Each structure stands twice: as structure tokens, then as C-alpha cells.
């Protein structure tokens, strides 16, 4: 681990960010906290089931400017529907304008380096929101990203605009010559009455290890509508910690769907901070994993103001030696009366070496609330299986049919058709579903 | 219901009912903890050498341990050097009959409603009364002895049945298990020992009443229950404590062993002094309770009604080692004023076809914080393990909190684990419905709470169920309105 610490410290000292204001102080605080905390061990309650130190115990390079990635490389990984999308390409954590294509006009969508946004018209937005996730994740991992947040990207969706072209974000790691560490950082501001679709995918090119430590902070203003879709389908040598921190500062609606199909160690932090009365949030997740994949979904719904509604459904299909971890926290603050918060986690284990650790958690300080959580771990319903077998469906096909239906509940929540079809095709193939 | 109403009325203005101090000349150790104190306790109790070694081993390990900080409770640090670790009512000779028991002590029990005389036979309860750490008298012992059942104080067991104690003590909760169990192992002054031989069904409910009495004394009880093959026993534990200003520490350890086809049912009503309305005083209740279903088809069931104590930190657990064994946990935890409770259970599925069931009902009122913390672990070889957990929380008032921390770890694909939890307040429509039918609001709330807790109350033995219902009402007195 000392190598990683050294790597981060050297980079920090060599680059010496010479700005000032919120970026500078966040960077300093991040570095300080990282030095103090280091990489969390399993003794850290938030990292109890995920040995992140084992993932980071490798010889990474942290070279953000290595851009051997060509347009052809990007073409090979584009998601379906890209012809009608704004495509933002990040290489080793850094946004590359020349590889990206922005179709929306500048009066809809603004894309700026964070360091510039922190000076101009968006200064107040950056000052108020950048680094807000640190209060919820006071650990070395988040701090490590904060230390280099000045290399991040700022995206603004202008008010009263529904962005027609969805935003496809490709986070590409170039691991062809050496193991790579990348730390993408974004701050997204969605203005009043605006609507936007975000699709995010991590891609590693090459066969060396990669580790992505991404932090995305999203600020949602009044009456805005945001859809966040994440697809995680990488090789087993690619690991990541992804923090998506959503602040709903006005009455707004946010949908999130996280699909995890393959990878090394994957940790998703998804936070919803409901800061205005009457917010609505939906969080859906599907992890369909096998091999040695370790997927860990940590979610937080923090109800600060009254009359909010949140609904969370995470489903897991775990096969072979894979591990699924779920920790869902719902906080209801004292002022957040009349909150309705629901949470559910359902897991199907397909092998005796598969593992599930789940911890749904409610912390409630207001009395006039309706909150519930439930979680299940089990096999496929024997009776449903029998029903299908009795009607002449083979065992394998029957299982695939049931599992596909199990997954379908989540896939149906994706409102972008090309993405839903794409995800469905991968899941169907994985499950051997041929109807 | 009418019984409950009366109780509510009676206690409307009353302070903590069991707040009085019995004046018995205590024979106690000076405050502080070191190896000498442990030697003192051991010598005082005429313990054999191996017992002293066992205590010292625990103490030496304890010195290396840290106070656990993970429970969701806040309290000032306990000064372990300010506590008196031994306090025994003075006693001139061995007691063989009830008549020889100190009359003042007997009056104490009368006040609590435990009469040590033969009237108890009518209720079918054998009482091993514990006052400040030393067992004073045991009734029904002769009758039980005829069946081969051993039910005596721990110190007696150490003297008379050393082979049993040596074999089982610390087998479920090792001396190194956790901070407070290690402390208990080092300094426990007394407790109950219960041994049910092969094939015997204990004909009556066995019961221990705990009392914390002298100011500044810690209470370190040690209970060990062993049910041999095919045996059955139902064990009751109930507590009340006098009013104190300073916080008192209670760190008990209960161990249960159930062998093939054995069944142990352990019920607790805990009503220690919870502190006053400002959160001053009250008992710290840091208890380790664990049972092992060591044999096939064995069953251990924990039922608890927790209404007292300023801070509670307690997780009665079951290790389901034997195939087809069953673990159960039923709990009602009530917190009011400034009480804090972090309680729950652990179900560790190791054997095949093991089943567990968890029903936890938390009620918080006033400024209290009530947490459920539980673990369901299904090991690799626990084929067809089955668990169902239900945790419901009821909030009375907007200054209190209800929290749920369930951990579920599954390593076997044939396992079926379900967990559900809800948090809500009493619906206005429910109250309205009751009001409409002529029940005032307070009665309506009592009625609804009673229904809320019923699933757990039904698990209690008859003698306890009535007391527990009264306790529920008393504990929540004044929190509604």
C-alpha cells in the first residue's frame, strides 16, 4: 500500500495546483485526509465486506496524459444509440474534447473544465456543491479523488431545457502498456425545469489492471428531471469505486439504474440527498455476476425535508464464486416528517460458492413517517420451476425464463430504448435465455 | 385490558416503583480492579485453584481489549477502577432452610412479589433469588434434585459439580469473546447453574430474580444452562433495581448448551432503573447471551422484554450447529425519556436444515434511541437453512429515533433468508377509531401498543406475561398526549 500512497503523494507534490478558492481548499483537504486515513481496511464499517486494499495493492501508474487512445479505439466501445447522443470521452480520468462529440447546442448544455467553471458564472454552483460527497464518505478513497478534483469536468444543463440528446460518458482506461489508476471527477448542474439522461460506462482497453476511483456530484434544481444509467461490464482485472452523489436542492425527480455484469471488485456509492420538501427518488440496481466478480452497492437516502418519497429496489443474481454486497441506508431527519421511504434487496444464489452480504439499514428520527425495508436471499421458486417443467419447458430454459423475468423488473426502468435493448441482450445471453 | 388501565392510573404520578434500598450489612471489596481483587473474590468464595486461573486468564486478556464503540449508544466512559467488584450480604453460616434467611432480606423479596416460602409451589416456580451477586436461597431444590436436575448458584456448582462447570463454563462464550464478557469472566461473583440430565423434562419454570443493591457495585452475573440429550427446560429471568443517581454497570454472561433433541426456552423481563426524566442515573446493561444448539434437532428460544436500563447493549444469540436445530428470538424493547437501547440477535447457521426466526418490536418515546442490530449468517455447509426476520419499530413522539441494522451474510445457495422491517407511528385513523368507540387517547395508545407487541408477549410464560404487560404500560406512561 505504501506504493500507492507514494504515488499519490508524489503526483500531488509535483503538480502543485496553483489555483485558489474552493478547488484549492478541496484539494488540500483531500490530500490531508488521504494522508491521515489511507486506504480503508475491512475494520472500517463501510468497507467491512470489500477488501479494497487488496485491489490497490498493485503497481499502478497514474499518468493522466498518456493518450495513445485513438478515435478507432473509442469507436470500438461506443454504446448503441450513440448517433443521437452527446458523447463525452474521458481517458485515464481526464476529459478529452477532441475524442468527444457534443451535439447539443451551447444554450442547452455547457461543458467546461472544473478549474474554469470555478471562476466564471458557475462559481457559486461549484463553491456550494463541489466536495459535498466528502461529508458522507469521510474515507481515504473519496479524499484521494478530492485531492485531484481540479482536473475534473463541469457540466451544466441550462434551465428550461430538456436535452434531447442523452449524455453518454465513456470512462476509458488505457491499460495496454501498464496498470492504470484513474480518478475521473465531474460536477453536473441540472437547472430549473431541465431534463437530462446520463449514461455512464467504464471501459478498460488492454490486459493490465485498472482501477477507477470516480466521483460524480449532481445538483438537481427545482422541477428538474434526471435519469442516470450506469453499465458495468468489464474484465476481471478492472476494478472501481464509483461515487454518485445526487443533491436534490429543489422539488425534483431523479431515476437511477445501475447494472453490474462483470468486473473485478466493483464498489458503487450512490447517495441521494433530498434537501427540498416533496422530492422523489428512484434507485434501481441489478447485479448479475459470476466468476470472481465482487460487487458492492452502498446507497444512502438522506431525507432532510418533509414529504419526500424514495423507492429503492436492488436485485442480484450471483453465480460461481461471485460476491454481492448490499448496504442501503435510509436516514430520516427530524424535520423530514411525512417521508415515505421504501427499500428492497432481493438475491438469488446460483452456486454454493456464491456469497451475499446484505445490510439494509434504517435510521429514523422523525415520527410521522412510513419506512420499510426488506431483503431476501434464496433460490428460484421451486413451484414456479415445477410449473414450467410440467408444461414441457426444459430445466435450463425454465431457470433462464424465471431469471430473465427477475431481472426484467429492473431493466424495464431504463427509459432509453437503445440502452435497454442493449442491456437486455447482454442479460439474456448471460442467462442462456432464448425465447 | 382493564388490568392494564388500572396500572396506568396507579402509576400516573408514581416514581420508579421499585426504588428502595435494603439495609443489609454488605461484605464488599474496595473499589478498583486488579489481580488482587480477583484473588480476593475467588478466595472469598472458596474457589478451587483452576477457577482462579480461569478468572486471571480472562482478566489478563481483558487488559488488552478495548471498550467497544460500535453500538449506536452514547454514554460517558465507565471508570472500571471506581467500581466495587464484590458485595455480598453478610452471612454467618451456610443456609439450609428458608427460616435462616435474614428476615430483612426476605422482606425485600416480599416487596418485589417474590415470596420464598412454599406458596411458590402453587405457582410452580422455583426461585433462585440473587441479591447483589450472591445466591441466598434456593427453593424447590430438593424436588428438582430427585429428578436429577441441578439448579443452584454458580459458586455452589463450582464446589459441588466441578466436572460439569469445567466442561461447559466458557464453552459458548469464551473468556476472550468480548470486552464485557472477559470482564465478567474475571470478576463474576455469582449466578445460576442449571443442568438437566438426559431425557428429563423440567416440570416447572426455573426462575432467577436479579437485584442490584449496594451503591456503586457492579453486577456481574454468570449463568450456565446445560440441557442434555432430550431434556427440556424453561428458564425465567426478571429484574428490578433500586433507584440510584450514579450509573451502575451490569455485565452479565448467559451461556446455554442444548444437546441432541434438547430444548431450552429462556425468557427475560428487564426492568432496571432507566434513569430519571432528564436522563440522569440508570443502569448500564452490557450483556452477552449466547446459546449453542450443539446437538441434532435441538432448540433454543430467547424471549425478552426490555423496558429498563439507561443504556442497553445486548444480543442474545444462537449458534445452530446441530443439524435440524432451531433458534428463535422474540423481543420487545421499549425506550422512553433518555434511554438508549442497541439490541438484537445473532443467528449463526452451521448445521444442515437449521431454522431461525427473529421477531423484534421496538417502541421509542421521549428522547430515546432504539436500535435493532442483528446478524444472520448462513455458512457454506448449512444446506437448506431457513431464516425469517421481522423488525418493526413504533415511534411515539418526534424527538426519539428508531434504527435498524440487520446484517445478512449467506454463503449457501440453498438458504432462504428473508428480512423485513417497518417504521411508523400510530396512525391517527387508528386512534380516531378507538376514540369513536369511547376509548380515550391514552387507552387507545395502550391498546395499540399491546397489539403491536402481542406476537412477542405470547411467547412469554404465563407468570411473566402479566408482569410484562404492566411494565410496557408503566414504561410508556406520560409519553403519549
Question: Does residue B123 sit at the A interface (CB-CB below 8 Å)?
Answer: no
The C-alpha atoms of residue A286 and residue A408 are separated, in whole angstroms, by 9
DSSP string, A197-246: EEEEEEEEESSS-EEEEEEEEEEE-TT-EEEEEEEEE--TTEEEEEEEEE
A131 φ/ψ sector (left φ>0, alpha ψ -120 to 50, else beta): left
Contacts of B407 in chain A (CB under 8 A): 357-359
Q: How confident is the model at residue A109 (pLDDT cuts 50, 70, 90)?
A: very high
Nearest to A197 by CA among A86, A309, A78: A86
Q: What is the DSSP letter of B245?
A: S
% of chain A exceeding 70 in pLDDT: 98
The C-alpha atoms of residue B45 and residue B32 are separated, in whole angstroms, by 18
Residue carrying C-alpha cell 438437566: B196
Question: Does residue B418 sit at the A interface (CB-CB below 8 Å)?
Answer: yes
| B397, three cell numbers | 413522539
Which residue in chain B has the smallest CA separation from A321? B411
The mean per-residue pLDDT over the stretch B440-465 comes to 83
Contacts of B388 in chain A (CB under 8 A): none
The mean per-residue pLDDT over the stretch B138-159 comes to 80
Question: Does residue A377 sit at the B interface (CB-CB below 8 Å)?
Answer: yes
% of chain B exceeding 90 in pLDDT: 38
Residues 6+ apart with CB under 8 A from B304: B267, B268, B269, B270, B314, B316, B330, B331, B332, B333, B343
Q: What are phi and psi of B13, to 5 degrees?
A: -110, -5
The C-alpha atoms of residue A325 and residue A262 are separated, in whole angstroms, by 14
Question: Does residue A385 sit at the B interface (CB-CB below 8 Å)?
Answer: no
**Are the C-beta atoms of A360 and B421 separated by less than 8 Å?**
yes
pLDDT of the residue at B362? 92
Question: Does residue B375 sit at the A interface (CB-CB below 8 Å)?
Answer: no
The beta-carbon neighbor of A351 closest among B404, B410, B413 is: B413
pLDDT of the residue at B9? 45
pLDDT of the residue at A22? 85
User: Angle at Cα A296 formed by Cα A291 and Cα A301, nearest 5°?
Assistant: 155
The mean per-residue pLDDT over the stretch A387-413 comes to 94
Predicted confidence (pLDDT) per residue in A169-206, tens digit: 999 999 888 899 999 999 999 999 999 999 999 999 99
The C-alpha atoms of residue A18 and residue A14 are separated, in whole angstroms, by 11
> Could you tell me how many CB contacts below 8 A there are between chain A and chain B?
114
Mutate to test the interface with A, among B404, B414, B431, B479 (most CBs of A within 10 A): B404
Please give, rounded to a whole number of angstroms, the shortest distance from the CA of B260 to a CA of chain A. Answer: 27
The C-alpha atoms of residue B234 and residue B349 are separated, in whole angstroms, by 23
Is the pLDDT at A160 greater than 90? The verdict is: yes
Residues 217-246 (A) with a CB less than 8 A from some CB of B: none
Helices then strands, counting H and E runs in chain B, come out as 12, 24
Is the pLDDT at A27 greater than 60? The verdict is: yes
pLDDT of the residue at B166? 92
Predicted confidence (pLDDT) per residue in A274-323, tens digit: 999 999 999 999 999 999 999 999 999 999 999 999 999 999 999 999 99
Question: Does residue B480 sit at the A interface (CB-CB below 8 Å)?
Answer: no
The beta-carbon neighbor of B398 closest among A334, A349, A373 is: A334
The mean per-residue pLDDT over the stretch A96-103 comes to 93
The beta-carbon neighbor of B414 closest among A347, A366, A379 is: A379
**Are the C-beta atoms of B254 and B206 separated by less than 8 Å?**
no
Please give, rounded to a whole number of angstroms, the shortest distance from the CA of A204 to a CA of chain B. Answer: 31
A236 φ/ψ sector (left φ>0, alpha ψ -120 to 50, else beta): alpha
Nearest to A328 by CA among A284, A368, A294, A393: A284
Nearest to B317 by CA among B294, B296, B301: B301
Given the cut 0.85, state whether the ipTM is greater than it.
Answer: no
Q: Do B419 and A359 touch (CB under 8 A)?
A: no
Q: Do B419 and A365 touch (CB under 8 A)?
A: no
Q: Do A369 and B425 touch (CB under 8 A)?
A: yes
Q: What is the DSSP letter of A178?
A: S
Q: Do B401 and A364 touch (CB under 8 A)?
A: yes
Question: Does residue A334 sit at the B interface (CB-CB below 8 Å)?
Answer: yes
Contacts of A366 in chain B (CB under 8 A): 395, 398
Which residue in chain A has the smallest CA separation from B401? A365
Is the pLDDT at A2 greater than 80? The verdict is: no
The C-alpha atoms of residue A51 and residue A49 are separated, in whole angstroms, by 7
Q: What are phi and psi of A278, to 5 degrees?
A: 85, 20
Predicted confidence (pLDDT) per residue in A224-246, tens digit: 999 999 999 999 999 999 999 99
Q: Where are the domains of chain A?
A: 2-391+413-423
Question: Does residue B317 sit at the A interface (CB-CB below 8 Å)?
Answer: no
Q: Do B405 and A347 touch (CB under 8 A)?
A: no
The C-alpha atoms of residue B406 and residue B358 are separated, in whole angstroms, by 11
**pTM confidence score:** 0.85
Please give, rounded to a whole number of angstroms, the shortest distance from the CA of A425 to a CA of chain B. Answer: 26
Predicted confidence (pLDDT) per residue in B11-53, tens digit: 433 455 555 455 555 567 778 888 888 888 888 888 899 999 9
- Window from A226-240, A245-259, B144-158, B269-283 with minimum mean pLDDT: B269-283
Nearest to B362 by CA among B337, B330, B394, B329: B394
Mutate to test the interface with A, among B365, B413, B476 (most CBs of A within 10 A): B413
Q: Do B413 and A349 touch (CB under 8 A)?
A: yes
Question: Does residue B380 sit at the A interface (CB-CB below 8 Å)?
Answer: yes
The beta-carbon neighbor of A379 closest among B395, B403, B413 is: B413
The C-alpha atoms of residue B117 and residue B109 are separated, in whole angstroms, by 11
Greatest mean pLDDT among A311-325, A351-365, B399-413: A311-325
Amino acid at each position: 500500500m505504501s506504493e500507492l500512497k507514494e504515488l499519490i503523494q508524489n503526483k500531488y507534490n509535483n503538480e502543485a495546483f496553483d489555483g485558489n478558492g474552493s478547488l484549492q481548499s478541496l484539494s488540500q483537504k483531500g490530500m490531508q485526509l488521504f494522508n491521515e486515513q489511507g486506504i480503508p481496511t475491512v475494520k472500517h464499517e463501510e468497507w467491512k465486506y470489500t477488501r479494497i486494499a487488496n485491489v490497490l495493492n498493485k503497481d499502478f501508474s497514474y499518468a493522466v496524459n498518456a493518450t495513445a487512445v485513438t478515435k478507432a479505439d473509442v469507436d470500438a466501445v461506443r454504446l448503441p444509440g450513440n448517433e443521437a447522443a452527446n458523447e463525452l470521452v474521458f481517458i485515464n480520468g481526464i476529459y478529452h474534447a477532441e475524442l468527444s462529440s457534443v451535439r447539443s447546442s451551447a444554450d442547452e448544455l455547457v461543458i467546461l473544465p472544473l478549474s474554469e467553471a470555478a471562476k466564471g458564472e458557475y462559481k457559486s454552483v461549484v463553491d456550494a456543491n463541489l466536495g459535498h460527497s466528502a461529508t458522507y464518505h469521510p474515507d481515504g478513497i473519496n479524499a484521494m479523488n478530492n485531492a485531484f478534483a481540479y482536473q475534473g469536468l463541469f457540466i451544466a444543463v441550462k434551465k428550461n431545457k430538456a436535452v434531447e440528446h442523452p449524455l453518454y460518458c465513456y470512462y476509458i482506461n488505457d491499460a495496454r502498456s501498464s496498470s492504470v489508476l484513474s480518478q475521473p471527477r465531474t460536477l453536473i448542474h441540472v437547472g430549473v425545469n431541465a431534463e437530462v439522461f446520463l449514461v455512464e460506462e467504464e471501459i478498460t482497453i488492454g490486459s493490465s489492471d485498472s482501477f477507477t476511483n470516480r466521483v460524480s456530484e449532481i445538483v438537481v434544481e427545482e422541477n428538474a428531471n434526471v435519469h442516470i444509467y450506469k453499465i458495468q461490464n468489464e474484465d476481471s482485472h478492472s476494478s472501481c469505486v464509483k461515487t454518485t452523489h445526487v443533491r436534490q436542492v429543489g422539488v425534483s425527480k431523479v431515476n437511477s439504474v445501475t447494472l453490474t455484469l462483470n468486473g473485478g471488485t466493483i464498489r458503487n456509492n450512490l447517495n441521494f440527498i433530498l434537501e427540498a420538501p416533496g422530492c422523489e427518488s428512484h434507485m434501481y440496481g441489478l447485479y448479475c455476476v459470476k466468476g470472481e466478480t465482487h460487487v458492492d452497492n452502498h446507497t444512502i437516502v438522506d431525507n432532510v425535508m418533509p414529504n419526500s418519497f424514495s423507492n429503492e429496489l436492488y436485485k442480484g443474481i450471483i453465480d460461481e464464486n461471485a460476491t454481492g454486497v448490499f448496504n442501503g441506508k435510509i436516514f430520516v431527519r427530524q424535520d423530514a416528517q411525512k417521508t415515505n421511504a421504501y427499500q428492497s434487496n432481493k438475491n438469488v444464489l446460483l452456486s454454493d460458492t456464491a456469497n451475499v452480504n446484505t445490510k439494509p439499514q434504517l435510521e429514523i428520527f422523525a415520527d410521522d413517517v412510513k419506512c420499510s425495508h426488506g431483503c431476501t436471499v434464496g433460490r428460484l421458486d421451486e413451484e414456479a420451476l415445477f410449473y414450467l417443467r410440467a408444461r414441457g419447458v426444459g430445466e435450463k430454459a425454465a431457470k433462464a425464463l424465471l431469471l430473465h423475468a427477475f431481472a426484467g423488473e429492473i431493466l424495464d426502468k431504463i427509459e432509453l430504448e437503445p440502452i435497454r435493448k442493449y442491456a437486455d441482450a447482454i442479460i439474456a445471453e448471460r442467462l442462456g435465455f432464448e425465447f | 385490558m382493564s388490568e392494564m388501565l388500572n396500572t396506568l392510573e396507579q402509576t400516573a404520578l408514581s416514581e420508579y416503583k421499585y426504588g428502595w434500598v435494603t439495609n443489609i450489612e454488605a461484605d464488599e471489596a474496595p473499589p478498583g480492579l486488579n489481580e488482587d481483587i480477583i484473588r480476593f473474590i475467588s478466595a472469598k468464595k472458596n474457589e478451587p485453584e483452576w477457577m482462579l486461573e480461569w478468572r486471571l486468564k480472562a482478566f489478563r486478556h481483558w487488559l488488552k481489549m478495548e471498550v467497544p464503540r460500535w453500538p449506536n449508544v452514547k454514554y460517558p466512559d465507565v471508570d472500571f477502577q471506581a467500581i466495587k467488584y464484590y458485595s455480598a450480604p453478610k452471612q454467618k453460616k451456610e443456609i439450609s432452610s428458608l427460616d435462616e434467611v435474614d428476615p430483612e432480606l426476605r422482606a425485600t423479596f416480599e416487596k418485589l412479589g417474590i415470596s420464598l416460602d412454599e406458596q411458590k409451589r402453587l405457582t410452580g416456580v422455583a426461585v433462585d433469588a440473587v441479591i447483589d451477586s450472591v445466591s441466598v436461597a434456593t427453593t424447590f431444590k430438593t424436588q428438582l434434585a430427585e429428578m436429577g436436575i441441578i439448579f443452584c448458584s454458580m459458586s455452589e456448582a463450582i464446589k459441588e459439580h466441578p466436572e460439569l462447570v469445567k466442561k461447559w463454563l466458557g464453552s459458548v462464550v469464551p473468556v476472550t469473546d468480548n470486552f464485557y464478557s472477559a470482564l465478567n469472566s474475571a470478576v463474576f461473583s455469582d449466578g445460576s447453574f442449571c443442568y438437566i440430565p438426559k431425557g428429563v423434562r423440567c416440570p416447572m419454570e426455573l426462575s432467577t430474580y436479579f437485584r442490584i443493591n449496594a451503591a456503586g457495585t457492579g453486577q456481574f452475573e454468570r449463568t450456565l444452562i446445560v440441557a442434555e440429550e432430550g431434556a427440556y427446560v424453561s428458564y425465567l429471568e426478571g429484574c428490578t433495581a433500586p433507584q440510584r443517581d450514579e450509573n451502575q454497570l451490569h455485565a452479565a454472561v448467559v451461556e446455554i448448551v442444548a444437546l441432541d433433541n434438547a430444548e431450552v426456552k429462556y425468557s427475560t423481563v428487564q426492568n432496571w432503573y432507566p434513569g430519571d426524566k432528564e436522563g440522569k442515573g440508570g443502569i448500564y446493561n452490557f450483556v452477552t447471551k449466547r446459546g449453542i444448539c450443539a446437538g441434532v434437532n435441538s432448540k433454543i428460544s430467547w424471549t425478552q422484554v426490555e423496558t429498563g436500563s439507561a443504556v442497553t447493549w445486548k444480543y442474545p444469540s444462537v449458534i445452530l450447529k446441530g443439524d435440524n436445530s432451531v433458534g428463535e428470538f422474540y423481543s420487545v424493547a421499549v425506550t422512553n425519556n433518555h434511554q438508549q437501547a442497541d439490541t438484537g440477535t445473532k443467528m449463526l447457521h452451521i448445521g444442515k436444515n437449521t431454522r431461525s426466526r427473529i421477531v423484534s418490536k421496538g417502541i421509542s418515546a421521549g428522547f430515546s434511541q432504539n436500535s435493532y442490530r442483528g446478524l444472520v449468517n448462513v455458512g457454506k455447509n448449512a444446506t437448506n437453512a431457513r431464516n425469517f426476520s421481522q423488525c418493526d419499530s413504533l415511534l411515539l413522539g418526534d424527538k426519539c429515533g428508531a434504527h435498524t441494522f440487520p446484517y445478512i451474510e449467506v454463503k449457501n445457495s440453498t438458504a432462504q433468508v428473508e428480512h423485513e422491517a417497518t417504521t411508523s407511528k400510530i396512525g391517527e385513523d387508528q386512534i380516531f377509531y378507538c376514540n369513536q368507540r369511547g376509548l380515550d387517547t391514552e387507552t387507545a395508545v395502550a391498546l395499540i401498543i399491546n397489539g403491536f407487541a402481542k406476537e412477542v408477549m405470547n411467547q412469554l410464560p404465563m407468570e411473566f406475561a402479566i408482569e410484562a404487560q404492566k411494565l410496557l404500560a408503566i414504561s410508556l406512561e406520560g409519553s403519549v398526549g
